[in-house]
A and B are shown apart, each in its own frame.
Chain A
Amino acid sequence: MRQKQYSQTLTPSVFYILLALCDKERHGYGIMKQAEYDSNGKIEMGPGTLYGNIKRMLKDKLIEETYERPDSISDDERRKYYRLTELGRKKLSMELERYNSAVKLARRRNLLPGMELLKLSR
């Protein structure tokens, strides 16, 4: 059921968590900050939302816990780090592809804000 849900669309929180983990492994708070940064402050997760999503994503094998610690000297060893799985990467690519198609379509139909101005200036 959950797999089916992910194959259709990702919730904004799940999408930004996957996006935050696409370049390197991060701990919970690192994911939270990165998601906030990537979404220009639109995704404001608290610990409950963050770990609720992490729990479900671990179960669905979109992410996995990693025992490699990027900065083992200064890091708090109680922290858990997470990274994308192959499935997670695939789902993220599919979602980005979906967005890409939607943006292309919007461009073709002049639906994006500012497109009218571009058209007039040509």
Chain B
Amino acid sequence: MKKINNKAIRIYSLLLNLYPRSYLKEYKNLMVQTFRNMLEDNNDFKVWLRVAKELPVNLLDEHLENIKGGTMKLKNNSRLIIAILISILSGVVGFFLSFLIGEGLMEVLSDEMAMLLMFVGISIYNFAICLFLGIFYPKSIWFCSFLINIIVWAALIGNLKGPGEFVDLWYGWTALIIFAFAGSYTGLMLSRKKSIQNA
């Protein structure tokens, strides 16, 4: 029997942590065991190639199933794909807007006031986008807020001068998350109300 490379198994186990926790609880040990069996019977490179080919799609699939309560597949839900694209696009627009608004405001106002207004602006922007997504795709409450905020945070980090300052602004990004979730939640409620009225 071929000698197993334990480092490969450790790396694979680490990679598996990218899967949803509920999935790992059930399948992590079985997957590692299968991976070990594959290494015993095949060339390491071939095994890794197979893992690399399937990992991104499977990760996305499992996370989306997790979000939707295990009832969907990516390819069967064009509404979800559109919602993800809108989220990313909104995030990118938010990124550039925060640069433009931030720099413009800092020229005419004090730094503190400009920063405060920028946070308010981005929060309202987040609320509006998430409100739209919440109505368009009611189950987007988690991921749309998450995607938008990741990109907006990146914009904020880019706008701040000097390391460590971002950490001090915890109140800023807490507000962003709250606004994004509030928007998503309101959208969700409005879409429910709409569907009850239509019924």
Contact = CB atoms under 8 A, between A and B. Distances in A.
Contacts of A44: 50
B58 A49 contact: yes
A44 B41 CA distance: 14
Contact of A47 (B26, B38, B70, B72): B38
B33 A51 contact: no
Q: How large is the interface on A (under 10, 10 to 19, 20 to 34, 35 or more residues)?
A: 20 to 34
Given A55-B23, A55-B27, A29 B34 contact: yes
Given A28-B33, A79-B33, A48 B54 contact: yes
Nearest to A76: B33
Given A55-B26, A78-B29, A80-B30, A47 B71 contact: no
Interface of A: prevailing SS: helix
Interface residues of B, number: 27
B71 A1 contact: yes
A52 interface: yes
A28 B71 contact: no
A44 to B, nearest CB: 6
A29 B34 CA distance: 5
Contacts of B38: 29, 32, 46-47
Interface of A: 1-2, 5, 28-29, 32-33, 44-52, 55, 59, 76, 78-80
14 contacts: A1-B71, A28-B34, A29-B37, A33-B41, A46-B38, A46-B53, A46-B54, A46-B55, A47-B34, A47-B51, A48-B55, A48-B59, A55-B27, A76-B33
